[in-house]
Each structure stands twice: as C-alpha cells, then as structure tokens.
Amino acid sequence: MQEGQPVGSMDETRPRVDDAIPADIQRTLCIVACGAGPASDVGKLVRLAQERGWNVQVVATPAALQFMDTVELKTLTGSAVRSKYLSPGESRSERADAIIVAPATYNTISKCALGISDTYALGVLAEAIGRPIPVVMLPFLNAALAARRPFERSVIQLRHEGVQVLLGSGQVEPHPPGTGPDHVGGFPWHLAMDAVERPDEDR
C-alpha cells in the first residue's frame, strides 16, 4: 500500500496463514490486549476462539492489566496472562500460529508501526509481524486520535507489512471522543476471529 492510500483499504503483499498445519493439530492463538475499555471483555474473544478449536494464550500490555480479570482468564485459558518477559531459565510460551491485538490502542498501534518493542506485548508483536502468520489488529479509539496523521501513517505502515488492521467502513469505526464506554459492549470481537481464519480473502 502506498502512503496517501485511504486507511480503510487493504494491502496485498504478505504471505499469510500457515496452511501447512494439519487440521488435527490444535493451533495456538495469542491475544494481545491493550489498555482500553474492551480489555475487560477479552474473555469473549477467548471463548470465541476456543469454540473454533484454538488453544489460546493471553498477553497484556501493562496498561491493559488494570482492565482485566487475570484470574478468570487463567482459568479460561489454562495459562497465566503474560505481561512481562520471562526470567532466564523459565519455560517459554508456546509459539503462536496467529496473533490478534484486541483492543488495539492508539498507543500500541503507533509504537508497533515504528518497530518499538519496549513491553513484552510489543516484543511479541514485533517478532510475529516478521513471521508468515496472520496478525490482526482490532482497534478501539476515538475519532480525534484516529484523525492524527501519525496514526494514519502507522495504519498504512502496518498494512504494508501485512498486518490486518480492521479499521474503516464495515470494520471498527472510531467513536466520538468521550463516548468510549458506550461502545465497549458492541466491540466486534468476531471480526478479528473471522479475519484470522480467512486472512487471504480481502488481500
């Protein structure tokens, strides 16, 4: 995608899903939650993915932790919510077959596009984008933030690298400033699952 192309349109460049995974092997989905209201409902996405046969790990940015019930999520997924790098010698998380960033904040989208890796969540993303696996971002932000030029450039940059940023008509539309809590309940988690499982259709 070229700079100047509308942020609602898609890119065609990157190899996508690992079709080589046999159907009888359970795929692992890593959900990266950022610090915005829908993070309190991330269990909805966990259940949706589990219903579709995915093993799920949850990673949280430090800011996301205040929104989330990490005990409930550990019970749901069978593994602790990760927000920090492990100490040397500790066992590593399973390598993910796909990543969903939801809710994806203005901050994480902007930093990720620049290649910044100063949290565990951004480190997971930085590496995932360099691998041929689906990476989907479901943003949650207001229209004032979404209108910023640096943000528009970030979305273009990420799409250029093959990240599916589900922003625009028919996907997530930024809400008016100050109305975030009104939109938490309608956050379209299913769009992210659909995109992970049908990554090539719109590309």
Ligand X SMILES: Cc1cc2nc3c(=O)[nH]c(=O)nc-3n(C[C@H](O)[C@H](O)[C@H](O)COP(=O)(O)O)c2cc1C
Number of residues that bind ligand X (CB under 6 A): 15
Torsion of CA 17, 21, 26, 31, to 10 degrees: -20
Our finding on whether 59 is near ligand X (CB under 6 A) is: no
Which residue among 28, 107, 117, 171 contacts ligand X (CB under 6 A)?
107
**Distances from the Cα of 122 to the Cαs of 8, 59, 131, 179, in angstroms?**
23, 10, 14, 27
Q: Which is nearer to ligand X, 34 or 133 (CB)?
A: 34
Per CB under 6 A, contacts with ligand X among 109-148 are 119, 140-141
Going residue by residue from 20 to 49, which x/- string records binding to ligand X, judged by CB under 6 A?
A: --------------xxxx------------
| Cα gap 87→7, rounded to integer Å | 39
Q: Which is nearer to ligand X, 137 or 195 (CB)?
A: 137
Going residue by residue from 158 to 187, which x/- string records binding to ligand X, judged by CB under 6 A?
A: ----------------------x-------
Binding site for ligand X (CB under 6 A): 34-37, 61, 63-64, 105-108, 119, 140-141, 180
